[in-house]
Amino acid sequence: MRFKSTRDKAVHLTSAEAIKIGISRDGGLFVPENFPSVSVTDLATMCKMSYQERAQYVLSLFLTDYTEDELAGYCAKAYADEKWGGSETTPVVRIDDTMSICELWHGPTCAFKDVALQMLPHLLTGAMRKTGEDKTVVILVATSGDTGKAALDGFCDVDGTKIIVFYPENGVSSMQKLQMTTQSGKNVYVAAINGNFDNAQTGVKEIFSDREFEQLMAKSGHVFSSANSINFGRLVPQVVYYFSSYCDLVERGELKLGDKVNFTVPTGNFGNILAGYYAKRMGLPVNKLICASNKNNILTDFIKTGVYDRNRDFYMTASPSMDILISSNLERLLYTLSDEDDKLVASYMNELKEKGVYTVTGAIREKIAESFACGFCDDDETKAIIGKTYGEHKYVCDTHTAVAVGVYEKYRRETGDTTKTVIMSTASPFKFCKDVLEGLNVTEEMGDFERLEKLESFGVKAPASLATLREKEVRFSEVFDKSDMRSAVKEFLKI
């Protein structure tokens, strides 16, 4: 399997090379040259496997330059039972006859990002070995809250790597901030910036394409890579749980092998839902992928109209990991749906950069409508859903998951579609205690850890990794201007 760039399909790299570089030099994202196919017989085989084996199976279809032994070793470490609170890495919880919730947040940092970021350090260090890279890899991360912590945990004290995380000073929850600023490890650095997630992401992308800076880095023995979902190494591990949750439903007799399911995905950078689309293209029986947004509903408008227009207000919401106006991974979908028209994709991305808007062809719009549905919930609706889901099903969901539940319920009402649907639950409710409690009608002022205890009174157990944060020392408190991210990098690397 080789990897091409969405903006230049003459690019032809192995997966190790693509994972090491993270983003193509032309600014494009790496995409596989084809979708490996998984038949119903293969699915039946997968049903009998453990999560680790399912992961190895899917990874081996894309990452053909890694050996089966390497991948088996990576999967055993990344998805070890003790890291995921038991053998069910991503448990599927039944809510009613049509709706189930797949909990993707039982990993070390309590967000779905762990699924990919526990794996990425293994793929990356493997890639360095395979490509004969002797420089220290510097992972630059822009985060809307969860990627930062998950990447810090994954890369903490991994030999041959350093990691720098930028987060928007006022754009993450207090629990998310504490998780990052208390991170241990000799090779980690965390900096807040004055700005929002898009500013952080744009700043990181600019540093990646700054050739002068690259030379400065090379001279001091460093090379950049990315742990954001622009890195293909983040995407494949996410394809796994679409297959795995399907298999779980089959194994429990809730689904007949070959029957279709819907997935509803709380969406920001479009990485998670794109992994679902890849699974569908590989042969997983998927009816609709339902793209759920918060008040930053640029994707809802795009899927409905074919116009992607970021000239709009940016809102800070109760689901901060979805407060994004530039959904990077959409570029990969456009590449596939335009029949790999790299020039067209490059022109859309250029229009987005220059004018903030592009309009896709009618053909692309139709193909989007075949596979995707969409909708959004504002904060009031989100909190109401948290209360309603608890009231009706005694299930406490976080704000991001609640957006997806709300969008799915609207979809079910409007379309009458009763296809079994899996909601991708992307974070533990304990990461967003304040807003979750408001949804549960608890509005008194309290400290972060008092809230945590209060939330436990609703019959859910706080993850130890969050409860113990109160004893940890804050190590990072610097705030940089968004135009000054290069200085932060230089300061940390002492170059």
Catalytic residues: 113
Please compute Rg for the chain using Cα positions.
21
Nearest to 108 by CA among 135, 146, 139: 146
CB 23 within 8 A of CB 349: no
User: What's the gap between Cα 309 and its chain centre?
Assistant: 22
Q: Which stretch binds ligand PLP (CB under 6 A): 36-44, 255-263, 266-274, 277-285?
A: 266-274
Separation of first and last alpha carbons in the chain: 37
Nearer to ligand PLP, 207 or 322 (CB): 322
Q: Which stretch binds ligand PLP (CB under 6 A): 132-140, 160-168, 264-272, 459-467?
A: 264-272
CB 277 within 8 A of CB 371: yes
Contacts of the segment 364-369: beta carbons below 8 A, 24+ positions apart: 364/306, 364/334, 364/337, 364/338, 365/305, 365/306, 367/337, 368/303, 368/306, 368/333, 368/337, 369/303
- The kind and range of the H/E element at 13 are strand 8-13
Binding of residue 271 to ligand PLP (CB under 6 A): yes
* Distance of closest approach, residue 218 Cβ to ligand PLP, in angstroms: 31
Nearer to ligand PLP, 161 or 329 (CB): 329
**Using CB under 6 A, which residues numbered 135 to 174 contact ligand PLP?**
146
Nearer to ligand PLP, 56 or 272 (CB): 272
- Give the pairing type, strands 3-5 and 8-13: antiparallel
Per CB under 6 A, the list member of 229, 231, 300, 382 interacting with ligand PLP is 229
Nearer to ligand PLP, 234 or 250 (CB): 234
Binding of residue 438 to ligand PLP (CB under 6 A): no
Name every residue whose Cβ is closer than 8 Å to that of residue 405 and which is 6 or more positions away in sequence.
99, 101, 264, 385, 389, 397, 423
* Distance of closest approach, residue 398 Cβ to ligand PLP, in angstroms: 7
Nearer to ligand PLP, 32 or 126 (CB): 32
Q: Which stretch binds ligand PLP (CB under 6 A): 14-22, 176-184, 249-257, 269-277?
A: 269-277
Structure-token pair, residue 435: 């807003």
Rounded-to-integer distance, Cα 129 and Cα 125, Å: 6
Rounded-to-integer distance, Cα 248 and Cα 87, Å: 13
E strand residue ranges, 143-214? 161-168, 188-194
Per CB under 6 A, the list member of 288, 400, 412, 451 interacting with ligand PLP is 400
**Using CB under 6 A, which residues numbered 102 to 121 contact ligand PLP?**
111, 113
Nearer to ligand PLP, 214 or 301 (CB): 301
Binding of residue 267 to ligand PLP (CB under 6 A): yes
Per CB under 6 A, the list member of 272, 293, 336, 338 interacting with ligand PLP is 272
Nearest to 17 by CA among 205, 231, 211: 231
- Residue 119 is given by DSSP the state T
Residues across the chain: 495
Structure-token pair, residue 360: 């896709």
Number of residues that bind ligand PLP (CB under 6 A): 16
Name every residue whose Cβ is closer than 8 Å to that of residue 98 and which is 6 or more positions away in sequence.
412, 418, 419, 420, 421
**Using CB under 6 A, which residues numbered 316 to 355 contact ligand PLP?**
321-322
CB 164 within 8 A of CB 140: yes
Q: Which amino acid is at 215?
A: Q
- Residue 88 is given by DSSP the state -
Nearer to ligand PLP, 124 or 427 (CB): 427
* Residue 241 Cα distances to 159, 250, 326, angstroms: 28, 14, 25
* Distance of closest approach, residue 104 Cβ to ligand PLP, in angstroms: 9
Binding of residue 236 to ligand PLP (CB under 6 A): no
Binding of residue 294 to ligand PLP (CB under 6 A): no
Nearer to ligand PLP, 14 or 181 (CB): 181
Per CB under 6 A, the list member of 269, 317, 382, 389 interacting with ligand PLP is 269
Nearer to ligand PLP, 155 or 492 (CB): 155
CB atoms under 10 Å from CB of 223, counted, come to 16
Q: Which stretch binds ligand PLP (CB under 6 A): 270-278, 371-379, 459-467, 482-490?
A: 270-278
Nearer to ligand PLP, 121 or 145 (CB): 145
Name every residue whose Cβ is closer than 8 Å to that of residue 290 and which is 6 or more positions away in sequence.
262, 263, 264, 265, 372, 373, 374, 375, 404, 407, 408, 411, 421
DSSP for 286-337 reads EEEEEEEE-S--HHHHHHHHSEEE--S-----S-GGG--S--TTHHHHHHHH
| Contacting positions for ligand PLP (CB under 6 A) | 111, 113, 146, 229, 266-272, 321-322, 400, 426-427
